Amino acid sequence: MKVNINGESRSILAVWYEDNQVKLIDQRKIPESIEIYTAKNSDDIYYAIKNMVVRGAPAIGVTAAYGLAMAFKNKEDMDKSVKTISSSRPTAYDLFKAIDYMEANKFSESAARRYALEITERSRKIGEYGNSLIKSDDRILTHCNAGALAVVDWGTALAPMRIAHDSGKKIFVYVDETRPRLQGAKLTAWELQQEGIDYSIIADNAAGHFMKHKDIDLAIVGADRIAANGDFANKIGTYEKAVLAKVNNIPFYVAAPGSTFDFSLKNGDGIPIEERDENEVLMVNNSRLGPVEGHAKNPAFDVTPHEYVTAFITEYGIFRPEELKKLYNLIQDDLFMR
C-alpha cells in the first residue's frame, strides 16, 4: 500500500509482525494521522479487533494469526488466547479460518507469516481477475472499505480498481460514506487518494440517485462471510445497494478470498450479525445526534441474498452464484484452505 508521509511516498502494510509484536495501522486515526498500534499479548489483539483498530475480514484473520503466534511464543495459556481472540467479533469468517489454520500448524510464527503472505497474494489475484471486468472510463460504486487496510495489501474490492488504474485505465469511483463509522469517507477515500485514483464521496442514500441517472457502470464490494448459496454479509447498507443495482440493471460484484466462504452454512440465515454500541450511531465527533434520551439500533452488517449478486471475484476466478459448487471443489483441493 502506498502512503504519503510528510510528502514522501512509502510502502507499508496494514498489519505486520516484528520483534514478537503485532504492528497495525490504527484505522481509527485515518485520515487525520497515521499511527501504529502495537499488540504485545492476546488481550491487545482482542482489543485491536473488537475496537476496530483493525477491521476488514482478511486483515482480522491475519491479525489473529500473528496474535496467536505471539501468544505461543510468550507462553500464554493457548486455550485462553484462542477463546479470547475468537470472541472479539462474530461475523467475519476469516477470523475463525485463521484460528483453525494456526491451531493446525501449532501456532508457529512461520505459519502466521505464511498465512499473511497467502492472503496478500490471493488479494492480488482477485485484483487481476476483477480488472477483466473493468473498462476504461468505467464509473464504479463501492461500499465501506475493502482495500489494503482491510487485508494486508492490495485489498479485495479495491484490488481490481488498483490494477485497472495501474494498467492505464481511466476510472472513477463513487465512495459511499458508510455510516455510522464512515469507513468509506475516511478509509476508502484515503486509499484511493494515495493511489491517485479519481473518486467522490457520496452520502449513503445518494447511490440510487446516481444509478437512476446512469452515472454508475458497476458496483464492487467486499464481504465478511459468504454462505454456500452465495448469500453474503457485508457492512450495513450493502443490501440496499445490491437491490438498487438489480433494479437499475447494474452489475453487482462481490470480491473476496476463499477464506471468507463459509460452506458450512447453506444460506445467509445462519450468519451471525454483530450488534455494536448505539453510540456509534448517536455520536459524531463527540457531538450527540437526536434527543439525549434517544436510543439507536446498530447492526454492523446486513445479509444480501445471492440473487442480487452478478458474480463473486475470487483468487480462483470469477463465479456466478449458481457456480459456487465449482468454487467449493477448488477450495477443497487447495491445501492452504483446508
- Mark whether 244 and 147 lie in a shared domain: yes
- Mark whether 133 and 60 lie in a shared domain: no
- The whole domain housing 317 covers 127-337
Q: What is the CATH number of the domain that holds 165?
A: 3.40.50.10470
In whole angstroms, what is the distance from residue 45 CA to residue 41 CA? 7
- Mark whether 262 and 318 lie in a shared domain: yes
The DSSP string of 59-109 is HHHHHHHHHHHHHHHTT--HHHHHHHHHTS-SS-HHHHHHHHHHHHTTT-H
Choose the catalytic residue: 224, 231, 262, 302.
224
Structure letter (DSSP) for residue 215? -
pTM: 0.96
- Mark whether 71 and 161 lie in a shared domain: no
Tell which of 64, 91, 120 closes a domain.
120
Q: Residue 137 catalytic?
A: no
- Mark whether 82 and 211 lie in a shared domain: no
Residue 38: predicted pLDDT: 98
Supply 210's cell numbers: 446516481
In whole angstroms, what is the distance from residue 88 CA to residue 123 CA? 24
- Mark whether 171 and 264 lie in a shared domain: yes
- Mark whether 53 and 201 lie in a shared domain: no
The DSSP string of 225-281 is EEETTS-EEEETTHHHHHHHHHHTT--EEEE--GGGEETT-SSGGG----B--THHH
Residue 280: predicted pLDDT: 96
Ranges of the chain with pLDDT below 70? 5-7
Instruction: Decide: helix, strand or coil at residue 118.
Output: helix
- Mark whether 156 and 55 lie in a shared domain: no
Residue 6: predicted pLDDT: 63
- Mark whether 249 and 301 lie in a shared domain: yes
Q: Domain count for the chain, please give it.
A: 2
Tell which of 86, 120, 154 closes a domain.
120
- Mark whether 254 and 273 lie in a shared domain: yes
pLDDT tens readout for residues 227-276:
999 999 999 999 999 999 999 999 999 999 999 999 999 999 999 999 99
Q: What is the CATH number of the domain that holds 8?
A: 1.20.120.420
Tell which of 120, 153, 186 closes a domain.
120
Residue 9: predicted pLDDT: 73
Q: What is the dihedral of CA 312, 315, 316, 322, to 10 degrees?
A: -10
